[in-house]
Chains A and B, each alone.
Chain A
Amino acid sequence: MEKKFGVYICKGCGIGDAIDIEKLSNVAIKDMKIANCKTHDALCSPAGVQVIKDDMKDGVNTIIIAACSPRVKYEEFAFAGTITERVNIREFVAWSQAPKTEDTQSLANDYLTMGIIKTQKGDLPEPKILEDLTSTILVIGGGITGMTAALEAAKAGQKVVLVEKEAQLGGFANKLYKKIPMGAFYREPLIVDTDIDKLAKEVESNPDIKVYKSAKVAKTDGQPGLYDVTIDSNGNSTTEKIGAIVMATGWKPYDASKLDYLGYGKSKNVVTNIEFEEIAKKNNGKILRPSDGKEAKRVAFIQCAGQRNANHLPYCSSMCCATSLKQAKYVRQNPDATAMIFYIDMRTPGRLEGYYKEAQNDPGVMLTKADVTGVSEAASGNLFVEADNTLLGEKIKVEADLVVLATGMIPTTREPQEYLDNLVKEAAKGDDAKKAYLESTPKPEYILNLAYRQGPEIPSLEGAYGFADSNFICFQYETRRTGVYAAGCVRQPMNMSEAQEDAAGAAFKAIQCVDHAARGVAVHPRAWDVTFPDPMLIRCTACKRCTEECPFGAIEEDEKGIPFYKVNRCRRCGTCMGACPERIVQFKDYSVDIIGSMIKSVECPEDEFRIICLVCENDAYPALDTAGINHKQIDPSVRFVSLRCLGGMNLVWVADALSKGVDGVLLLGCKFGENYQCHFVKGSELANYRFSKIGETLNRLQLEAERVTMMQVAINEYDKLPDMINEFVEKVKEIGPNPFKEF
């Protein structure tokens, strides 16, 4: 596109009072040689917008708007088919600086220059749409979650391939005798058929769902819209073309043999909640105990067996309290039988409370808060449950015919994750340790078997205990493998009806993903973005930093170690761009050169301080904007340059800025660590890692380390942020001007 520029400066909202608009116009006209520079009293007004539209009729296609923040007036200033750059001289200048000072003027001048450079260097992006895309959804796991996901996707008109490792569909629900009714009311009957067979039949008879049983995914190669998935089933190997994947492989019960302190393994009449289901199912509801087949008339349920416990599972599996209440109903099908439930906290959140209430109203169900201290054998195969701190008295000892342990769930992702994490740890010690580990450790069953450089499974998440969770509260279906959406108990502990809702959600995200691949746009969180990384590979040194650092495993390597993008896996965060020491990664409107040239354009007068502040556009930028809205004063020496994610921060920018005479560089990114807030998961953490290497650069330049700092900020810290920035500026001023200014 041949660019025809137009610069439009707004004088409204106090901008005209704070900035000399004529001088600012001269930056465009004289310094940047853009003759077409217009000003308006209220550029966002219909008359103001018309000025731009009229120019567009004359061929203006590259529009620089110096006005308010891009967070507002987005409809007024949306001009399809153009390069439009918003230069924030309202919140960042007029509203946060002293009016009509030289400092304020040069700040506005620098922002306008940077905005113009960005449009000069950037290009209008066009979507990259790959060929031979497919929209078929693969669902891994044929339990209630997987079957629901498959049916929901099929109902939306999608083709589905379902892979189940067992010989029949149904998963854990197959083992269940009954389930809790799912309607809006909890009233008799309080236990109902699971109807899992009906669901399985519906799946198998659906013409849009192809079912593989006794099958597993042997290999997943490719990228969203273009996966080749090899499925091994009954000795045959088939390859399916797949667009996106729902991972619904569920959970395994916690290994009860570790619960000998609760009598498991010592007495046959101590069983897990799953074994109890099997007993009830096998005997059509009759509770016949394992040791002697006698009907158990006093059944004790011990909640949180090996859960909420640092030595076992530190989390709560969410569904066990309600499950035990349900199983108490199995017991109570015999009116002479009683059930006793020992709990730490009865967790029946939401309307499930009504289910708990029904149990409380049943005189044959005894419920007490208790710390169970032990289970010991009594006469004739019976058991004593001993407990402390109960509602019935301090220490109690109750005899039961059968004890049921409410054991928790372990996601199927945990074993492979642990295996792979340990492998990385051992490999770091050297080849011998790695070899020894591989030889001595049995390889677990992989789920996805991704043919990805970064490994075959979804990477583990700190504090998620192997669950394929996102750690995002607002965005539940994020994983670090684009196109793979976890659903059900593999994602988070949940009950059956929640798992069915979750299945619909994950299947929906999978559909969205194939749709976006077809349109050549990114998926969340930059779902509108048509740009994509396009490196100048001729200059690549095969250092592998991009392939190692990409938070989403989007980059592969050829045999020479040269990277290539699987672009549909890419989330467009630009972390690769920040990682690249050769500065070759570029997007049409975002590159090392574009940002670097913007930074280099900042004037560094000898007698003044200049600070470059690189900010994450998702959180730090809105926080700065809000500070401006609140008219908080920020030191005028600071120039904000926004990045898609701080992970895109390239050290060359810092080095160039400092060697040019910039006195300090401040990096503002999201919080990282266990409770990370980075929308690209690892971006800010990687920026911090890179930042830690900055000493080398500073040493080389013989500059003080304190001139460069990284801060973690949250979007609501706009009240503190100006002070944090101003303090940094003060610190830099104490160090003194950058000696490179003289050159």
Chain B
Amino acid sequence: MAENKTALVIGGGFSGLTAAVEIAEAGQDVVIVEKNPYLGGKVAQLNKYFWKLCPPVCGLEINFKRIKNNGQVRFYTLAEVQDIKGEEGNFDVTVKVNPRYVNDKCVACDACAQACPSYRSNEFNFGMDKTKAAYIPFNQAFPFTYVIDAKACSKDCGKACAAACKYDAIDLNMKPETINLKVGAIVMATGWDLYDATRMDILGFGKVQNVITNMMMERLSAPNGPTGGKIVRPSDGKEVKNIAFVQCAGSRDENHLPYCSYICCLASLKQSMYIREQYPDSKATIFYIDLRTPGLYEHRFLWKAKEDPNVTLTKGKVAGITEDPATKDVIVEVEDIFSGGKVKATFDMVVLAAGMVPGTKDSKIVKDVSYTPDGFVDASTAKKGIYAVGTLKSPADVVRSVQDATGVAMKSIQSLRRR
């Protein structure tokens, strides 16, 4: 019999959030443990979804509203699961909650950030801009509470933030806390990380200034991104009128990620539309191996891109990326699959369609399950009562992740209801 009727969801990205609100709306208590200071994960960083080109915060907002109105979802941000003991229906979970240095009294008035003299690299925008050490992750964040990055904090400013706060919301003496949770079912939903693009030497990321990743491109295009949504290149802020997308940057490559990362073809097609919409005189080229737009996407998305004479889809493997030192333009060398030989082309900016690495690749908190060499969860080996969702099992888009998260909600209530 399940002694504990609460479900634990590890990870508050879209999969975890979905699993949590769905379980809660079936009448069970849920706790989310999220490592970021906000919920929403990668989806919060996306400008638009493929294929609808709608803003992902729209769905996040509804899910946040579901949390606000339901009352059965509790969540811890800046928190990590440290240990899991026990069995289905009766797990003991140890969670470390890192200090936010800002308590619930925060009203998000921005006074602390205005007073703070220190800056930090903004990881939400992949380091493309800076925030103060006292900051709000983004302007539609949930919870809408500021956070202080202790690593960036100068500590000799005389606690300017605390002095500026009229609401007694800043507590620089906050310490990490360890809490114990008793739960009946566990949902692993730690999502994915972008493959480290510097590992692909020939693609120039980190050396060629105007080579960025697909996730950086999302931030560059977003109204709440580092440029307010204006797509300009990093080296000189020049408008990007001629862009290339390099597909399978790491994916489908035995030396990097042997699998396909599912979302990158659709993401690059979408991003080519960002450019084409922003600059009507722009050109986009996508270098691909196979165009993988499965399902109902074909007509509504791939054909739409193909109809645009300024979008070129080229089947070919990129052999090397270099920089023109004078102009900072990016030179892409491509193997022509049909004729053999190599072709060179120059672009203002190049986007690497970097792949997905499961969150469990480097962080295997849950021991009662086995992992593939690539770090994916082998769901068939999971202990009863522990369920992995979405991209932890295989790369997936939001649609598939939501579908799976709802399915996992079913498994969780089975565990919680088991007699």
Partner of A345 from B167, B291, B414 at Cβ < 8 Å:
B291
Stretch at the interface among B63-71, B115-123, B346-354: B63-71
Is B386 interfacial (CB-CB < 8 Å)? Answer: no
Is A511 interfacial (CB-CB < 8 Å)? Answer: yes
The closest CB in chain A to the CB of B24 belongs to A527
For B228, list chain A residues within 8 Å (CB).
719
A349-B407 contact given A463-B300, A474-B398, A476-B399, CB 8 Å threshold: no
Stretch at the interface among A218-226, A265-273, A709-717, A735-743: A709-717
A505 pairs with B404, CB closer than 8 A = yes
The closest CB in chain A to the CB of B381 belongs to A184
B315 pairs with A369, CB closer than 8 A = yes
A14-B109 contact given A184-B379, A715-B55, CB 8 Å threshold: yes
For B293, list chain A residues within 8 Å (CB).
316
Partner of B410 from A505, A674, A718 at Cβ < 8 Å:
A505
Most buried by A among B166, B224, B295, B300: B295
A88 to B382, alpha carbons, bound, how many Å?
48
Stretch at the interface among A57-65, A201-209, A496-504: A496-504
A-B contact pairs, 23 of them (CB 8 A): A42-B166, A71-B144, A152-B411, A184-B380, A308-B298, A314-B303, A315-B297, A316-B296, A353-B259, A369-B290, A474-B18, A474-B62, A474-B63, A477-B406, A498-B403, A507-B410, A508-B410, A511-B413, A675-B53, A677-B58, A715-B58, A718-B139, A719-B223
Stretch at the interface among A323-331, A423-431, A448-456, A464-472: A464-472
Cβ proximity bits A311-345 to B, threshold 8 Å, 1 near / 0 not: 00011101000000000000000000000000101
Is B160 interfacial (CB-CB < 8 Å)? Answer: no
A→B interface (CB under 8 Å): 12-14, 41-42, 44-46, 68, 71-74, 78, 152, 155-157, 183-185, 308, 310, 314-316, 318, 343, 345-354, 357, 369, 389, 391, 394, 463-465, 467, 469, 471-477, 492-494, 498, 501-509, 511-512, 515-516, 519, 524-525, 527-528, 618-619, 622, 626, 629-630, 671, 674-675, 677, 679, 714-719
A467-B258 contact given A42-B166, A504-B406, A626-B140, CB 8 Å threshold: no
A502 pairs with B407, CB closer than 8 A = yes
Is B363 interfacial (CB-CB < 8 Å)? Answer: no
B140 pairs with A622, CB closer than 8 A = yes
From residue A125, how far is it (CB to closest CB) to chain B in Å? 13
The closest CB in chain A to the CB of B228 belongs to A719
A183 pairs with B259, CB closer than 8 A = no
From residue A257, how far is it (CB to closest CB) to chain B in Å? 23
For A45, list chain B residues within 8 Å (CB).
105, 167-168
A353 pairs with B260, CB closer than 8 A = yes
For B372, list chain A residues within 8 Å (CB).
184-185
A675-B54 contact given A463-B300, A476-B402, CB 8 Å threshold: yes
A68 to B394, alpha carbons, bound, how many Å?
42
Most buried by B among A345, A493, A626: A345
From residue B359, how far is it (CB to closest CB) to chain A in Å? 15
Partner of A505 from B144, B166, B298, B403 at Cβ < 8 Å:
B403
B410 pairs with A714, CB closer than 8 A = no
A501 pairs with B404, CB closer than 8 A = yes
Is B155 interfacial (CB-CB < 8 Å)? Answer: no
For B399, list chain A residues within 8 Å (CB).
473, 476, 492
B413 pairs with A351, CB closer than 8 A = no
The closest CB in chain A to the CB of B222 belongs to A716
Is B252 interfacial (CB-CB < 8 Å)? Answer: yes
Is B262 interfacial (CB-CB < 8 Å)? Answer: yes
For A12, list chain B residues within 8 Å (CB).
107, 109, 166-167
A314 to B65, alpha carbons, bound, how many Å?
37
B62 pairs with A347, CB closer than 8 A = no
A44 pairs with B337, CB closer than 8 A = no
B260 pairs with A350, CB closer than 8 A = yes
A351 to B258, alpha carbons, bound, how many Å?
8
Partner of A493 from B14, B27, B71, B296 at Cβ < 8 Å:
B296
A351 to B358, alpha carbons, bound, how many Å?
12
A354 pairs with B258, CB closer than 8 A = yes
Most buried by A among B57, B381, B417: B57
The closest CB in chain B to the CB of A670 belongs to B58
B294 pairs with A318, CB closer than 8 A = yes
For B409, list chain A residues within 8 Å (CB).
505, 508
A494 to B400, alpha carbons, bound, how many Å?
10
Most buried by A among B60, B65, B297, B417: B65
A719 to B224, alpha carbons, bound, how many Å?
9
A508-B406 contact given A316-B295, A474-B63, CB 8 Å threshold: yes
Most buried by B among A348, A389, A674: A348
For B139, list chain A residues within 8 Å (CB).
626, 629-630, 718
From residue A374, how far is it (CB to closest CB) to chain B in Å? 20
By DSSP majority rule, is chain A's interface helix, strand, loop, or mixed?
loop
For A349, list chain B residues within 8 Å (CB).
260, 262, 292, 294, 395
From residue B237, how far is it (CB to closest CB) to chain A in Å? 19
A36 to B381, alpha carbons, bound, how many Å?
62
Is B26 interfacial (CB-CB < 8 Å)? Answer: yes
For A505, list chain B residues within 8 Å (CB).
403-407, 409-410
A213 to B178, alpha carbons, bound, how many Å?
55
Partner of A316 from B260, B298, B380, B398 at Cβ < 8 Å:
B298
B406 pairs with A509, CB closer than 8 A = yes
B296 pairs with A156, CB closer than 8 A = no
Partner of A464 from B56, B105, B296, B338 at Cβ < 8 Å:
B296
The closest CB in chain A to the CB of B419 belongs to A157
For B294, list chain A residues within 8 Å (CB).
316, 318, 347, 349, 493
For B196, list chain A residues within 8 Å (CB).
none
For A346, list chain B residues within 8 Å (CB).
290
A156 to B411, alpha carbons, bound, how many Å?
8
A469-B54 contact given A345-B291, A353-B258, A622-B61, CB 8 Å threshold: no
A521 to B410, alpha carbons, bound, how many Å?
20
Is B52 interfacial (CB-CB < 8 Å)? Answer: yes
For A314, list chain B residues within 8 Å (CB).
298-299, 303
From residue B264, how far is it (CB to closest CB) to chain A in Å? 10
Is B396 interfacial (CB-CB < 8 Å)? Answer: yes
For B140, list chain A residues within 8 Å (CB).
622, 626, 715-716
For B206, list chain A residues within 8 Å (CB).
none
For A71, list chain B residues within 8 Å (CB).
144
A308 to B378, alpha carbons, bound, how many Å?
33
A348 to B296, alpha carbons, bound, how many Å?
16
A474-B55 contact given A467-B296, A511-B26, A718-B223, CB 8 Å threshold: no
B402 pairs with A184, CB closer than 8 A = no
For B55, list chain A residues within 8 Å (CB).
714-716
Is B108 interfacial (CB-CB < 8 Å)? Answer: yes
From residue B167, how far is it (CB to closest CB) to chain A in Å? 5
For B417, list chain A residues within 8 Å (CB).
156-157
Is B59 interfacial (CB-CB < 8 Å)? Answer: yes
